[in-house]
């Protein structure tokens, strides 16, 4: 079975073109922070210049005010043909980090942040597994817009949208499988596994192939939301993926989060949110789940979940 990825909506209500020239605003994002990230990725210009460019491209009158969920158009990098004499020279012994930074700088100068060079630099500069933050229960906290993997494309041949724009299901699944498998499985590693194992149907995830990415190969079982079954899974220490909806620029947008546990005394459910890379809290409302009061993004369950069968449960 496959599921639709989340595609952010533009102000006009239509889905934006899914390429690396767009950025979906996450909680805590500012134009200055986005501009600094772009300079680290090789975008020419100073931070102040990029802030002004971002404001102009997106019709933003107040650069200090952007909305969560807003899709920003990014400046396009000027491309020029690579020359055979273009080389990267490291002063002194190269470490994985310094070499990766040098390659990223070269890529930014020559418009080569695509293809093989990007994959190489990502491998050199990706944070070590131990550096990933974790929720109190030990489940890794991944953000789909993390620079380490945000440009990874969905689909068997990488023809789909990027993880940053439509990777909530993959990112939530990577967090759940990391917990179940006992090792860190990053979203980009899961994408590569799905690609190698035929786990995409177009840009859509084939859940039947996801679990084989980790030890024990837990079987992903998508189905309608059943709160009783959900509670049993969480009480048994097995995370559950929950599909929710939230408001994006006046329209209801689907999104996947990873439920990691519940407190039977308070009725609160803990979840890891791929949109923010942080935890969020939900409570039972009218027989379903919705965000607790005070949460920065309001989610409401839309009736779909994915649980994972492990060990003897798979034989039942």
Lowest mean pLDDT among 21-30, 57-66, 112-121: 112-121
pLDDT per residue as tens digits for the range 296-308: 999 999 999 999 9
pLDDT above 80 for 174: yes
DSSP state of 138: S
The count of C-alpha atoms lying within 13 angstroms of the C-alpha of 313, restricted to the half-sphere facing its C-beta, is 14
On the 0-12 / 13-18 / 19+ scale of CB atoms within 10 A, 5 is buried
The larger pLDDT score, comparing residue 209 to residue 96, is at: 209
Mean pLDDT across 264-273:
95
pLDDT above 60 for 281: yes
User: Residue 44: its pLDDT value, please?
Assistant: 84
pLDDT above 60 for 127: no
User: Residue 179: its pLDDT value, please?
Assistant: 95
How far is Cα 273 from Cα 70, in angstroms, rounded to an integer?
Answer: 17
How far is Cα 45 from Cα 290, in angstroms, rounded to an integer?
Answer: 43
The pairs formed by 152-155 with CB atoms below 8 angstroms and a separation of 24 or more are 152/187, 152/188, 152/191, 153/191, 154/5, 154/191, 154/200, 154/203, 154/205, 155/195, 155/200, 155/202, 155/203
Q: Which pair of structure tokens corresponds to residue 155? A: 């689909």
How far is Cα 19 from Cα 151, in angstroms, rounded to an integer?
Answer: 8
The larger pLDDT score, comparing residue 175 to residue 65, is at: 175
C-alpha pair distances (Å), 188 with each of 44, 158, 240 = 26, 12, 20
User: Residue 23: its pLDDT value, please?
Assistant: 84
pLDDT above 90 for 57: no
Look at residue 107 and give its three-state secondary structure.
helix
pLDDT per residue as tens digits for the range 227-240: 999 999 999 999 99
User: Residue 36: its pLDDT value, please?
Assistant: 83
Let me know: does 268 contact 292? Beta carbons within 8 Å. Answer: yes
The count of C-alpha atoms lying within 13 angstroms of the C-alpha of 227, restricted to the half-sphere facing its C-beta, is 16
pLDDT per residue as tens digits for the range 14-52: 333 334 577 888 887 888 888 888 887 778 888 888 888
The larger pLDDT score, comparing residue 240 to residue 131, is at: 240
Burial 142-170 (b: 16+ CB within 10 A, else e): bbbbbebbbbbbbbbeeebbbbbbbbbbb
pLDDT per residue as tens digits for the range 250-263: 888 999 999 999 99
pLDDT above 80 for 93: no
Q: Which pair of structure tokens corresponds to residue 239? A: 């995370």
Q: How far is CA 49 from the centre of its chain?
A: 28
User: Residue 68: its pLDDT value, please?
Assistant: 85
Q: Is the pTM of this model over 0.85?
A: no
User: Residue 248: its pLDDT value, please?
Assistant: 79
Look at residue 233 and give its three-state secondary structure.
helix
Residues 6+ apart with CB under 8 A from 162: 18, 19, 20, 150, 151, 152, 153, 154
User: Residue 78: its pLDDT value, please?
Assistant: 55
C-alpha pair distances (Å), 58 with each of 22, 40, 71, 98, 286 = 11, 21, 9, 34, 39
Let me know: does 271 contact 263? Beta carbons within 8 Å. Answer: no
Task: Please name the CATH architecture into which domain 133-315 falls.
Answer: Alpha-Beta Complex (3.90)
């Amino acid at each position: 079975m496959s599921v639709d990825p989340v595609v952010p909506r533009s102000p006009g209500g239509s889905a934006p073109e899914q390429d690396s020239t767009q950025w979906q605003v996450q909680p805590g994002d500012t134009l200055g922070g986005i501009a600094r990230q772009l300079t680290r990725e090789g975008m020419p210009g100073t931070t102040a210049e990029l802030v002004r460019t971002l404001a102009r491209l997106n019709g933003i009158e107040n650069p200090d005010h952007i909305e969560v969920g807003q899709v920003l158009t990014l400046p396009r990098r000027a491309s020029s043909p690579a020359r055979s004499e273009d080389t990267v020279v490291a002063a002194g012994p190269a470490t994985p980090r310094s070499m990766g930074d040098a390659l990223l700088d070269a890529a930014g100068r020559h418009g080569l942040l695509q293809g093989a060079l990007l994959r190489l630099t990502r491998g050199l500069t990706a944070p070590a597994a131990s550096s990933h933050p974790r929720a109190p229960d030990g489940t890794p906290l991944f953000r789909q817009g993390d620079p380490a993997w945000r440009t990874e494309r969905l689909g068997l041949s990488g023809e789909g949208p990027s993880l940053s724009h439509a990777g909530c299901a993959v990112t939530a699944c990577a967090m759940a499988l990391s917990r179940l498998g006992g090792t860190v499985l990053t979203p980009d590693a899961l994408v590569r596994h799905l690609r190698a194992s035929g786990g995409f149907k177009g840009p859509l995830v084939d859940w039947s192939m996801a679990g084989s990415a980790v030890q024990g190969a837990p079987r992903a079982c998508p189905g309608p939301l059943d709160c009783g079954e959900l509670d049993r899974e969480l009480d048994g220490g097995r995370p559950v993926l929950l599909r929710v909806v939230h408001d994006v620029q006046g329209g209801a947008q689907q999104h996947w989060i990873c439920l990691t546990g519940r407190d039977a005394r308070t009725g609160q459910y803990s979840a890891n949110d791929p949109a923010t890379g942080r935890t969020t809290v939900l409570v039972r409302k009218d027989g379903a789940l919705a965000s607790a009061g005070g949460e920065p993004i309001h989610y409401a369950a839309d009736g779909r979940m994915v649980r994972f069968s492990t060990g003897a449960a798979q034989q039942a």
